[in-house]
Amino acid sequence: MESRRRLNHMTKTLGFFYIFILLFGANTHAKSSLEIDAAIESAIDRFTNEIQGAQTYLDGARGILVIPKMIKAGLVLGMEYGEGALVVDNIKVQYYRAFSGSLGLQLGIGSKDLIILFYDDEAMDDFLYSSGWQVGVDGSVALLDMGAGGSLDSTEAQDPIVGFVFGHKGLIAGLSLEGTKFTKIWPDAEPEADEDSIEAFNENALD
């Protein structure tokens, strides 16, 4: 009886994992840069309009990484996936895919917006010129929550990299980005784009 329950549990878990891979694997590189750009602008608008003090944080940032509508799904194995871009001086200099996975009971499917602000040139350059950047390995991100007065808590605002996670009800508290990995993507590039063109893109992005 116990072995049957374990088998059923494993079957459901694997089935959910398979559906997740189908959903997200099929959509890898599915979005065009125009679609990502529109989602980014919408996320920034929500951030500044719905969260008191948000514009001040944006104005002081050297670069803004926006991953809009980051989708989360989980049963026993939880996964999150999203596509966005690093914005410098209102220019989207590089597109990224964000992905994270975790174990533990986490039922349901949902989405959230992620904004990461770089206040330090060195920290941003390390991110931009890396082949892959993982929170907790290549750098840390201080997540900000709402303060007692309904505005953003500034206790972590002096960190070189600051993050905000928010949904339709505002900032989401009690989360961690630990383990989230950001990988460069080129939504409109041909599949055979070579490393030289990729390197040239990065070198010219901030000129």
With a cut of 70, say whether residue 118 has pLDDT above it.
Answer: yes
Query: Is residue 79 situated within a structural domain?
Result: yes
Q: Average pLDDT of the chain? A: 78
Distance CA 35, CA 85 (A): 12
- Please return the burial class of 105, using the count of CB atoms within 10 Å of its CB with bins 0-12, 13-18 and 19+: exposed
150 vs 44, 52, 146, 154, CA distance in Å?
19, 7, 6, 12
Q: Which domain holds residue 64?
A: 31-205
Cα dihedral 32/33/34/35 (nearest 10): 60
Query: Is residue 17 situated within a structural domain?
Result: no
* E strand residue ranges, 43-138: 63-74, 77-88, 91-103, 108-118, 133-134
Residue with tokens 């050297």: 62
Per-residue model confidence (pLDDT) at position 31: 77
With a cut of 80, say whether residue 13 has pLDDT above it.
Answer: no
Query: Is residue 26 situated within a structural domain?
Result: no
Query: Is residue 163 situated within a structural domain?
Result: yes
DSSP annotation of 185: E
Per-residue model confidence (pLDDT) at position 113: 94
- Identify the CA nearest to 82 among candidates 177, 1, 200: 177
Query: Is residue 43 situated within a structural domain?
Result: yes
Q: Which residue has the higher pLDDT, 51 or 169?
A: 51
Distance CA 72, CA 89 (A): 30
45 vs 41, 51, 122, CA distance in Å?
6, 10, 27
Query: Is residue 9 situated within a structural domain?
Result: no
**pTM listed for this prediction:** 0.75
Angle at 85 between CA 79 and CA 91, to 5 degrees: 170
Domain count of the fold of the chain: 1
Query: Is residue 19 situated within a structural domain?
Result: no
- Identify the CA nearest to 71 among candidates 61, 62, 82: 82
